[in-house]
Amino acid sequence: MALKSYAVPVIYINQVAFDSKAPKIAVISTDVALDNTVRFSIINNKSLKVEFTGKVSHAQQLNEWAPGMLFYQADFSSIKTKGTYKLRVTIKGKSYTSDLFIIDDNALAKLTIPSIIHYYNKQRANTPQELAADSKVQLFGSTNTVDLRGGWCDASGDVSKYFSHLAYANYMSPQQIPLVTWSMINTSETAQNLLAKLGVKDSLDNEAIWGADYIMRSLSKDDYFYMTVFSYFNKDPNARRVVGLHANSVTTNEYQCAFREGGGMAIAALARIARWKKNGSFTSQQYLDGAKRAFAHLLINNTKYDDDGKENIIDDYCALMASVELWITTDSSIYRDEARKRARNLSKRIAAGGYFIADDKSRPFWHASDAGLPVIALCRYLKKENDAAYRDTALNTIKKALIYTLKVTNSVSNPFGYARQTFTYKNEIKEGFFIPHDNETGWWWQGENARLASLATAATVGGRLVFPAGSNSRIKDSLAVFASQQLSWILGCNPYNMCFMYQFGQHNVPYMHSSFGHGSERGGISNGITGRDGNGDGSGIDFKTSANGNEWRWTEQWLPHAAWFLQAVAATAEN
């Protein structure tokens, strides 16, 4: 749907919650300029008392999205009192009121983490039909079968199971089931006290072990991971095959995972969960042994599995995650040396402009799902690295990356604070809000809510290392505002007033049905907003709930969105 022009003012706001100590910003749009006497109020919904009154910011325009409209920010970050509120603005004697929202300590984590766990539990591929078919799923081009029971269905419209898809495109491989598993493990460890207070730590741990067990089943006897169990969008579970994917769902026998194709994050998840000393269908020792086997195999065979035969930045950050977790678990110099090599590679990839270079030439690294993962991998590395020289190099890389992120985001009028990016389009380096629709995949573009949450995570975790502010693990205001605005966009403070976390807020995308009783679930996050459909460079803005079967680009829930959101809210919460 095209972005509407409203004759009356519209208030765009996070429809769920703000953490007490976090920045709190709403956006007001009008078709006429507001004079400097216009103020807004924050009303306590229970007492109806005005808790805060503030002045709207200067006007900003977004002509690429909404020609002729004016946008004003309403900043009420100073309110820290718990309660349920609404924002009210009076213009020319008439009042306009926002949707309700909550302010509380750790509000986002308290409200959303239990539902995210629920979402993943419901996405388990554990119906009798799926378990029976996956216990003997056939390898593409062979009569051989393997047991790949478990895991999670990829999306509300796709019951396939992926370590990564888009491998053939080389620079766009997203991390899927292994990232979900690692995100759960990470959250369980970094927010354990908060999870215990919420009564959900055991549930999250069980979900993480469910993921680790699937990763172990996916480890072949030849020490590579099987990449994809593909449904062919067929309701018959016996149609499923273990495959590699090319464009337009063309399937192959290239189902071996490189580091960048899910292998690195799978190793990282197994090596990390092995430290729990908890057993699922496999023992903690088997998790560690599996991680070691797979890592040793990829040290020799990785470029054989990379579709173009060359490593790139995604191999670097995924192999860094793998080697760091093995180093932390074993304290072995083998993994230390590999981690240092990969961290050094990432540091060498920073361009003069501050963005990462994806290849061995000049292609900027841009990613619709995992844009924050290079910084997160370096932050994880610094949990173990104690050598001052190595630390300084990694910290400097994180600092440059975060400075670039703020610079590219704030270099144009951007009242919503949407994270912008640098990319290549038709061999030219450009900047924009959304990824180019004409890209190496030939077809894939979708809403980028995972990217936003990954960058919010990077800003928070990386910011604590290189831009700390005061006590209580705070980060400098510009990064805190950036992180908050990415999460607020997902939760409703966006030009379509759409809360993309299902059954939260006031406005959700329509329910999407899938096979075996799966589909949209509370706590799942839809893809979100894109550049204008038809604009190859990703310019403009679009969101559609009906598009002749292509509405999935905007409305479909996808595993990485909730995984990155989980990491982001766990990082911003005070444990």
H or E segment at 39?
strand 39-44
Say whether pLDDT at 240 is over 70.
Answer: yes
Q: What is the pLDDT of residue 374?
A: 98
What is the number of domains present in the chain? 2
Averaged pLDDT for residues 443-463: 98
pLDDT tens across 522-553, in order?
999 999 999 999 999 999 999 999 999 999 99
Residue that terminates a domain, selected from 71, 104, 137: 104
Pull the structure tokens for residue 260: 């960048």
Residue 473: what pLDDT? 59
> Does 235 reside within a domain?
yes
Is the same domain home to 75 and 211?
Answer: no
Instruction: Convert the pLDDT of each residue in 261-278 to its tens digit.
Output: 999 999 999 999 999 999
Q: Are 71 and 184 in the same domain? A: no
Between CA 42 and CA 46 the distance in angstroms is 12
pLDDT at 574 over 90: no
Please report the pLDDT score of residue 470 as a whole number.
72
Q: Are residues 197 and 48 in the same domain?
A: no
Contact 218, 242 (CB under 8 A): no
Q: What is the chain's length?
A: 575
Last residue of a domain, one of 104, 122, 143: 104
pLDDT of residue 1 exceeding 70 = no
pLDDT digits (tens, 9 = 90+) for 206-223: 999 999 999 999 999 999
Place of tokens 């991998």: 377
Q: Which secondary-structure segment (H or E) carries 555?
A: helix 552-555
Q: What is the pLDDT of residue 469?
A: 85
pLDDT > 80? residue 237: yes
Same structural domain, 93 and 144: no
Instruction: Kindly report the CATH number assigned to the domain that includes residue 186.
Output: 1.50.10.10
User: Do 96 and 125 share a domain, yes or no?
Assistant: no
Supply the CATH number for residue 37's domain.
2.60.40.10
> What's the confidence (pLDDT) of residue 6?
61
Q: Return the pLDDT at 4.
A: 65
Confidence of residue 36 (pLDDT cuts 50, 70, 90): confident
Inside any domain, residue 216: yes
Is residue 45 one of the residues assigned to a domain?
yes
In a domain, 3, yes or no: no
What value does the mean pLDDT take over residues 340-351?
98
Do 90 and 125 belong together in one domain?
no
* Residue after which a domain boundary falls, among 62, 87, 104: 104
Q: How far apart are CA 370 and CA 359, in angstroms?
A: 16
Q: Could you count the other beta carbons within 10 Å of the beta carbon of residue 143?
A: 6
Q: What is the pLDDT of residues 486-527, one digit of tens each?
A: 999 999 999 999 999 999 999 999 999 999 999 999 999 999
Burial 265-287 (b: 16+ CB within 10 A, else e): bbbbbbbbbbebeeebebebebb
Specify whether 387 is located in the same domain as 299: yes
Range of the domain at 18: 10-104
SS3 433: coil
26 and 134 in a single domain? The answer is no
Distance, CA of 116 to CA of 107 (rounded, Å): 14
User: Which residues 6+ apart lie within 8 Å of 233 measured at CB?
Assistant: 158, 249
- % of the chain residues with pLDDT over 70: 98
Backbone angles phi, psi at 203, to 5 degrees: -65, -45
3-state secondary structure of 97: strand
pLDDT of residue 474: 76
In-domain check, residue 1: no
Kindly report, residue by residue over 397-429, the tens digit of the pLDDT: 999 999 999 999 999 999 999 999 999 999 999
Do residue 37 and residue 126 come from a single domain? no
Q: Are residues 257 and 188 in the same domain?
A: yes
Q: Is residue 535 part of a domain?
A: yes
Is residue 2, in this structure, part of any structural domain at all?
A: no
Residues 96 and 240 in one domain: no
pLDDT score of 329 more than 90: yes
This prediction's pTM:
0.98
Q: Are residues 529 and 383 in the same domain?
A: yes
Is the pLDDT assigned to residue 309 strictly greater than 90?
yes
Question: At 367, which amino acid appears?
Answer: H
Domain membership of residue 332 (yes or no) is yes
pLDDT surpasses 80 at 290: yes
Task: Kindly report the average pLDDT of the chain as a whole number.
Answer: 96
